[in-house]
A and B are shown apart, each in its own frame.
Chain A
Amino acid sequence: DIVMTQSPLSLPVTPGEPASISCRSSQSLLHSNGYTYLDWYLQKPGQSPQLLIYWGFNRASGVPDRFSGSGSGTDFTLKISRVEADDVGVYYCMQARQTPFTFGPGTKVDF
């Protein structure tokens, strides 16, 4: 299985300030078709996860443009340009390069 790691595991943030989360995979997530199979999800307290980013950088429908995904191969980053109160929760990266799809341990973002 591809192992996903994230850092930090806990991220205290300040409203209006930027934030960044790192995700690393044990194998490259780049497919021969040119796509990178990396998603980002946010799970707000008491809710189901919600899709933020897919293909490593594509924002899902309705996701504010303050969220951005970058990276390639095995190293990826989720950035929030200006944190808002609604952004608290646990952020997970997930690889879909091969089954079983695997998630990172999560990064808890809180004020």
Chain B
Amino acid sequence: QVQLQQWGAGLLRPSETLSLTCEVYSGSFSGYYWSWIRQPPGKGPEWIGEISHSGSANYNPSVDSRVAISIDTSNNLFFLSLSSVTAADSAVYFCARGKFNMRHAFDIWGQGTLVTVSS
């Protein structure tokens, strides 16, 4: 059964860079799209961006100038980097997998990482 295990720093100061990693257990990268989604406390989710198994990425314009999503298929990992964070970036961050050959229909999710930005 495919699982996503994510990790990264949970407390950042303003202007620092958020870095999260998501590891894919018992599954293949090929044929799937991999997304990052965040959810501010008490609010609905926000799609941050995605990367294909071949490394092609798409981002939400709301963070486009600060975000980068990358993959390491050799080690079944994909990454999120968000620079120049502010308090508005405080949220639970999730990694997720779209169904086979689909960019959406996120059928596997990581456990979530709470990121707090505070001085």
Contact = CB atoms under 8 A, between A and B. Distances in A.
Contacts of A99: 47, 58, 60
Given A92-B44, A100-B60, A100-B61, A54 B104 contact: yes
B104 A48 contact: no
Interface of B: 44-47, 58-62, 94, 99, 102-107, 109-112
A94 B104 contact: yes
Main secondary structure of the interface of B (DSSP, over half): loop
B47 A48 contact: no
Contacts of B105: 39, 51, 54-55, 60, 96
B109 A54 contact: no
A92 B104 contact: no
Given A49-B109, A54-B99, 5 more contacts: A49-B94, A60-B105, A94-B47, A100-B59, A103-B47
Contact of B44 (A50, A51, A105): A105
Contacts of A57: none
Interface residues of A, number: 22
Nearest to B104: A96
Contact of B47 (A37, A54, A101, A104): A101
A106 B60 CA distance: 20
Residue from the set B47, B103, B110 with the largest chain A CB neighbour count within 10 Å? B47
Contacts of B62: 100
B44 A100 contact: no
A40 to B, nearest CB: 10
A32 interface: no
Residue from the set A37, A101, A106 with the largest chain B CB neighbour count within 10 Å? A101
Contacts of B59: 100
> Which 3 pairs show the lowest CB-CB distances between chains A and B?
A96-B104, A54-B105, A48-B109
A61 interface: yes
Contacts of A106: 44
A16 B99 CA distance: 31
Contact of A103 (B46, B103, B110): B46
Contacts of B112: 48
